[in-house]
Chain A
Amino acid sequence: MKPLSELGVGERGVVRELSGNPASKRRLLSMGFVPGAVVDVLRKAPMGDPVAFAVKDYCISLRKEEAAQVAVEPVEELSLASAPVGARLVVTGMRAGWGMRHRLRRLGVGPGSELVKLSGSGHGQVLVVLGGREEHLGQGIARRLLVRLAGEAG
């Protein structure tokens, strides 16, 4: 468990408990930060604070002080970067902005597409087999491409 304020952009957590200042705690609860709620970190303001989150199907911004009142269980998602080499993978999602999504779409990568990771457990590019072709993907993309092992239930 860690404070919501310590999640990075693109990360996800499940709310476990709230603490601290009673007025803002109550406010956070009313706005949907209840135990069990899934929170996505959307983006940070230009000066790093406040931070925008998605919770209960809408977007809300909190300062780090308030976000620190919410303890979350980070949801560890398997990304292409962290997946084992040689595994057959199914794309489940993309924690990517519009530009990257567009590039991935052009490569034919989207939720449901299958690929095999051939190499790239370090910091360089990741080599994958994708629809019969081999493609090099950058670490940035690989970290944001969420996958599950093929054969596992979705």
Chain B
Amino acid sequence: MTGKRAITVALAGNPNSGKTSLYNALTGARQSVGNWPGVTVEKKEGRFIYQGHEVTVVDLPGTYALDAYTLDERVAREYLVAEKPDAVVAVVDASNLERNLYLVAQLLELGATVVVALNMVDIAQSRGIEIDTAQLEKVLGVKVVTTVASMGVGIETLKRVVHDIQRAPPPPGLTISYGRDIEAGIEQLVGPIVAAWPGRSSQARWLALKLLEGDPEAVARLGDDEQAARVRETLAVVRARLERRLDLDIETAVVERRYGFLNGVAHECTRHRADLLRRISLTDRIDSVVTNRWVGIPIFLLLMWGTFQLVFRVGAPLSGLIERLFGWLGSVISSGLALVQAPAWLASLLVEGIIGGVGSVLVFVPNIVILFAVIALLEESGYMARAAFVMDRFMHLLGLHGKSFIPMIIGFGCNVPAIMATRTLESRKDRILTVLVNPLMSCSARLPIYILFAGVFFSRHRGLVVFSLYLLGMVLAVLVARLFKWVFFKSESAPLIMEMPPYHLPTLRSILVHMWERAWLFVRKAGTIIALTSVVIWLLASLPWGVEYASEASVIGRLGSLLAPLLRPAGFGYWWVAVSLAAGVVAKEIVIGTMGAIHGAGPGGLADVLRQSFTPLSAYAFMVMSLVYIPCVATIAAIRRETNWKWALLSVGYTLALGWLLAVVIFQVGSLVT
């Protein structure tokens, strides 16, 4: 074959089936891997080359089915129907065959060329499950490749099979028989459907089934022309007849038959089926503690508390090391520049502007690395789903959803992926509410502000002070969610139907990959946006030419002086605080960076300036302001992408008003009391 036609393969699979690992193993891409429902919510594309052919891999959202009820399912189905990829690799968790095959059956009914990647066979084996792949190939009429994606096992074979299948597509495989009555109905519908859409005759049976099942999207898309009216008429006749003849409603009957068939397949192809309770016994034992009526919530809170202790206790000495490194770098560069008699402004730009700004941000890399390591561990071990389980009643009372909890926790790391993660929420209302309050979850970029201020003003209780800020953010999130729910959505809530995957020990590699990604993202941000902002601020602080660096006479000083009176009621009406907060909208890390750049020092020197300017009370008010006011630009963009401009603007407006109000109230009330 000489034609080097581009091959496109879609990757489909249940959440928790190891689809993301497989995607990584196939394409070598780097992205996060999770163990809670729906980590892969974006459309991701990767590539691999096999024998000179380029194969594009499209990662579909993880779904349990191809019904049109959730956003993820709609996205996946829309792609498969409209784009018709050359093949679909269906990732199947070997230890949970029957339910995973449900998606495979729907893919086959859609007319897709399916290759089954029977994944996590190692875990299945350890649970006493052995799958006869030859038999599975025979009954489903598809190629089956066993893989252990997390270890890279079976990936080359999979690439070969995908490559070969495109050259010689197999005959259309499986047709599930739905029994005499339903089959007669399908047959009756196929004629009018083919007449209405001649181009889609290969999907006619699938469409007939969907119409019979009452699939809202299929019904809505019927159209209004004469042919569609014929389809609709026939549908009404067939439905009426089936309602009479079946003892179940049509939808239930269809799904029941499908599962009936798959139950047979699973039994036929699985050997040594151990008792469910024995297989999940370890998970069961852990769950009996972790979701226990009395200790479940304390354990959850303890884990959250432990996370912060870890971030501080282990992070602090490492941060000290980085701080000293940057101090040393600054002095080496300034003495080096003095040696070659470089102009004073260059030394000022490098040492005060760039090293001061970037250095005071990079100091926090250890804290952030540890935080993300813990989050990755919680996600990949399977604990996140338990956290949602344990907290759902509470979240539900507060007007949110147990699944909202997952994006909220991720929000502690970074609000941007957290907001993306809200796509797992099925109802638009829950999604928008969770998105809107997410910026109140204190992301890791705000941590540097707390660490610095709490360290300077509350050194003995800094852990407690920082914890109180996180807690305040959560409380505010709840109150705001209630308020917005009451104002914008006065309807009932979305269902909670959530898989609880078995626990497994995450590999060190996947944790490190996750950690590295996040740390790298942070460092890159520090290296680019933050360095750039540092230079801009240095410029503003140095202009007009000849003023004392970052004095009130400089451009920046004048800008800050304009804004400062607004901050006076909150106890920190200094021009340089106003400037730092304004710059912080670019990225919250920049708040401290800007202060560092203005005062020309890393955190060490900055501490003295802070001590002269703030009291513990105004420092706390400032931390609250930093927590609440305006999400960073990246977060605003994410909110706009997941919702629309209206909600993005609302999030900017309410956070600014709320932050300012809280800071003022804290300072004023606190001043009265003390």
Contacts and interface: CB of A to CB of B under 8 A. Distances in A.
Interface in B237-274: 248, 251-252, 255-256, 259-260
A17 B252 contact: yes
A63 B494 CA distance: 10
Contacts of B500: 52, 59-61
A5 B347 CA distance: 71
A60 B496 contact: no
Contact of B390 (A26, A27, A45): A45
A17 B297 CA distance: 34
A45 B296 contact: yes
B12 to A, nearest CB: 14
A74 B285 CA distance: 25
B507 interface: no
B67 interface: yes
Nearest to B70: A27
A18 B281 CA distance: 30
A49 B392 contact: yes
Interface in A61-86: 61-63, 65-66
A26 B213 CA distance: 10
Nearest to A62: B497
A17 B248 contact: yes
A95 to B, nearest CB: 9
Contacts of A36: 256, 260
A35 B253 CA distance: 8
Contacts of B102: 30, 32
Interface in A30-47: 30-32, 34-37, 40, 42-47
A46 B98 contact: no
Interface residues of B, number: 51
Interface string B573-610: 00000000000000000000000000000000000000
Given A50-B496, A54-B276, A45 B291 contact: yes
Interface string B480-509: 000000000000000111111110000000
A60 B495 contact: no
Contacts of B374: none
Contacts of A105: none
Contact of A30 (B67, B280, B296): B67
Contacts of A26: 67, 69, 251
Contact of A45 (B252, B277, B393): B393
Contacts of B280: 54, 59
A32 B214 CA distance: 18
Contact of A52 (B99, B255, B291, B501): B291
A30 B255 contact: yes
A58 B499 contact: yes
Nearest to A54: B276
B96 interface: yes
B202 interface: no
A28 interface: yes
Given A43-B291, A54-B276, A61-B389, A23 B251 contact: no
Contact of A50 (B98, B288, B393, B426): B393
A56 B280 CA distance: 13
A29 B291 contact: no
B331 to A, nearest CB: 55
B98 A56 contact: yes
Given A23-B426, A50-B392, A61-B496, 14 more contacts: A18-B252, A22-B214, A24-B495, A26-B69, A29-B251, A29-B256, A32-B259, A34-B256, A36-B256, A47-B394, A50-B402, A50-B496, A61-B498, A63-B496
The 8 closest A-B pairs by CB, nearest first: A47-B393, A30-B65, A24-B495, A29-B255, A46-B296, A59-B500, A34-B256, A63-B496
Interface of B: 64-65, 67, 69-70, 96-99, 102, 214, 248, 251-252, 255-256, 259-260, 276-277, 279-281, 283-285, 287-288, 291-294, 296-297, 385, 389-390, 392-394, 396, 402, 426, 495-502
25 contacts: A21-B495, A22-B214, A27-B69, A29-B256, A32-B102, A34-B252, A45-B291, A45-B389, A45-B390, A46-B293, A46-B294, A47-B393, A50-B496, A52-B291, A52-B500, A57-B279, A59-B501, A60-B500, A61-B385, A61-B392, A61-B498, A62-B497, A63-B496, A66-B496, A66-B497
